[in-house]
Structure 1
Amino acid sequence: MTTVSSPSSPWQNPDSTPASDSDPTSPPHHRDRGDDAESLDSFSSMTLNAEDFNLPDRIPDSNRYLNTQTHTSPLESNSPTTTPPPSLLHLSFNQDHACFAVGTARGFLILNCDPFREIFRRDFARGVAVVEMLFRCNILALVGGGPDPQYPPNKVMIWDDHQSRCIGELSFRSEVRSVRLRRDRIVVVLEQKIFVYNFVDLKLMHQIETFANPKGLCAVSQGAGSMVLVCPGLQKGQVRIEHYASKRTKFVLAHDSRIACFALTQDGSLLATASSKGTLVRIFNTVDGTLRQEVVRRGADRAEIYSLAFSSNAEWLAVSSDKGTVHVFGLKVNSGVKDTPRIASNVTRPTSPSSSLSLFKGVLPKYFSSEWSVAQFRLVEGTQYIVAFGHQKNTVVILGMDGSFYRCQFDPVNGGEMSQLEYHNCLKSPSVF
């Protein structure tokens, strides 16, 4: 296997000259280990096309489907679990939200959202804390984690599921917090630094200093064309926007308190941010940094925002928090439509009642009305959930760190409580690990 070390990695060959921090375009050092070098040569010459490298539609005979029978939600039943599920370390959607990855204390599995089913799983002896997919490609990025990690937490392992082994790795001096993939880039997030690599040859393209980022917050655009990257800036409440096509960097002071969560539209034109206070979500234009809209989470108490997600057409925004409710907001700006900041008005879309501006005097900008969510779905409070919009119209997929999977539907006209279409727990099947 061929390994690649970061410029500051203590694991690189001492005889080599490391790339300088002052020259972010310097390539990292490559170490060859005999015959295994052929693996990365093959990887480097691959065209990472999701259409060419699809995950299997069916699980091999050695694996079994998860039980896809619709179960009763834990909100409706308190039946005990016969065997404790494995410790869940990671949840993430792939780039188009068609699949999701689960990392546990004993490996990882990949599941399809609609219909809900296990695509494949890999049983390891130890834990995997990051599983980053590349659409439905066979290449994944893995990072070990948990009390007994499968791989060192300071390494990103490039896993080829066709070969069922790692074909490359990236090493760093500190723990890897998260990884983001595009067809042309690998983005590795450390607590105070981000490295951007070319996917084909693992050449270091860019490195970014950030404010303390223990959550590994980072978002990259997935549309065709050059990448837009968003990460924490250099001070509390600030975000940094990198437009690689125009080689422009934009800093936006999005909030007074620390950034808790953010999300990009697929094309990278709009950015949603939430702070540690968790009462407001702000929508920015990434090109000029202007504030386009603000939405208000119901309830004036503080909340920890866990997840933000745009719909594919940027018409809706989903928000999850530690209060146990997923909200869907209607957006008045959308990707590719340029408008000007609105004058304050009590007139809103009929399905999204607006509260009086006087209630938030001194909090909201004068040109914004405070907009409540259109639809809500109640969950078990205290569990961390992530959200995405489903491929079927007006549907939301919700994943919980307790292994829960919900698919819900909202009424875009009348709003109100979402209806639950299905519920599963991906960790309760006896076939899982």
Structure 2
Amino acid sequence: MLFRCNILALVGGRSNAICPVNKVMIWDDHQSQCIGEISLRSEVKSVELQRHHIVVILMQKIYVYKFADLKLLHQIETTANPKGLCVVLQSSGQMVPGRVEHYASKRTRFIMAHDSRIAAFALSQDGTLLATASSKGTLVRVFNTLDGSLLQEVRRGADRAEIYSLAFSSTAQWLAVSSDKGTVHVFSLKADFGTLNNDRLHNTSESHVSSSSMISSLSFMKGILPRYFSSEWSVAQFRLHEGLQYVVAFGHRKNTVLILGMDGSFYRRQFDPMTGGEMTQLEYYNFLKPEETL
């Protein structure tokens, strides 16, 4: 969906679909009709919509089309990308398909984020921060997209997990993570990313409290004990059904997290940045089972 408007990108499914898996339909829900089609030679893994562009992700290639007339603008070769991972910054032409590509300056920067395959990533709203998680799902790393430097590393847990989604808050002060373990985590990001180029840290009391609360009590022995004991942990958590896929985002209301499950469930939760811990439920609704609404 393009923002909150009536334009959607639809891709054919594998069974009983009205169009094949190699076709993208641009659908106007207000007119209830298809207003454009893009046909490709191989299966479409995912689609990203921007105000002026349509980005189509295949297994080893990304195509960028002009929204107005579907003219092909760019072709980008990638490594194998079975999940169709790609993030498009809405305010510019910057795109991250497993690497950071600055179209404005025609520079490509590769970030060696993890030893294992990347499973999920997300951009901050201004495009200066990139959060990544690997197929191991234990660590999440935050990078500066301008120079590729590692800014922060946080730990989701000790055991392997499949990361489903990552999301920055609008101010890039918080990072939310969901996985197949059924727990949504919220991490405090310690750097003042609004003044990233000046390398300053947050000096607000709220950020200081929440950052210190998620660092292991054995962090003073960093370099002696394994890295696990000096890890930065989540400030707040919310436990859901294990194994079910959930997508997370931050709400407009301060310190609120929105969670959408593939079973039709919707949660709106609030966390306390000072004390952390279990989030408070503000709203629940199931779009597929309205009778379960609280």
Q: Determine if the TM-score, normalized by the shorter chain, exceeds 0.5.
A: yes
Counterpart residue number, 1:231: 97
5 Å-filtered alignment, 1:338-417, equals 338=196, 339-340=198-199, 349-351=208-210, 352-355=213-216, 356-357=218-219, 358=221, 370-417=231-278
Task: Report the Cα distance in structure 2 between the residues aligned to 1:382 and 1:360, rounded to whole angstroms.
Answer: 35
126, 134, 142: which is aligned to 2:2? Answer: 134
Cα displacement string for residues 270-317 of structure 1 (whole angstroms, at most 9, x for unaligned residues): 0000001111100001111111111111x3111111110000110100
2:170 matches 1:312 = yes
Match of 1:303 in 2: 161
Q: Note if contact 2:14-2:20 (Cα within 8 Å) is conserved in structure 1.
A: no
Distance of 2:23 and 2:225 partners within structure 1: 46
Secondary structure in 2 matching 1:372: coil
How many residues align structurally?
280
> What's the offset of the Cα at 1:191?
1.1
In 2, Cα distance between equivalents of 1:150 and 1:429 = 28
TM superposition shift of 1:146: 4.6
CA contact (8 A) 2:215 2:232 kept: yes
Counterparts of 1:181 and 1:363 in 2: how far apart (Å)? 43
Contact persistence 2:133–2:139 (CA under 8 A): yes
Q: Counterparts of 2:223 and 2:233 in 1: how far apart (Å)?
A: 13
Structure 1 residue 241: deviation in Å? 0.6
Deviations 1:362-402 (A, max 9, x none): 9759xxx6211110001011101110001111100111111
Q: Are the aligned partners of 1:220 and 1:268 in contact in 2 as well (CA < 8 Å)?
A: no
The structure that has the greater radius of gyration is 1
1:147 Cα deviation after fit:
2.3
Conserved 8 A contact 1:397-1:407:
yes
**One-letter code aligned to 2:85:** L
TM-score by length of 1: 0.62
Matches within 5 A, 1:59-208: 133-208=1-76
| Aligned equivalent of 1:43 | none
| Length-normalised TM-score, structure 2 | 0.89
What is the RMSD of the two structures over their aligned residues, measured on CA atoms? 2.1
Amino acid aligned to 1:302: R
Which structure shows the bigger proportion of residues in helix conformation? 2
Residue by residue over 1:7-37, the C-alpha shift from the partner in whole angstroms, topping out at 9 and shown as x without a partner, is xxxxxxxxxxxxxxxxxxxxxxxxxxxxxxx
Query: Are the aligned partners of 2:14 and 2:21 in contact in 1 as well (CA < 8 Å)?
Result: no
Contact 2:27 2:36 in 1 (8 A): yes
Paired with 2:215 and 2:180, the residues of 1 have a C-alpha distance of 24
Instruction: Answer whether contact 1:314 1:331 (CA < 8 A) is retained.
Output: yes
| Greater relative contact order (Cα < 8 A, sep 6+) | 1
- Unaligned regions of 5+ residues in structure 1, if any? 1-132, 233-239, 343-347
| 1:336 correspondence with 2:194 | yes
- One-letter amino acid of the counterpart of residue 29, structure 2: D
Equivalence for 2:107 = 248
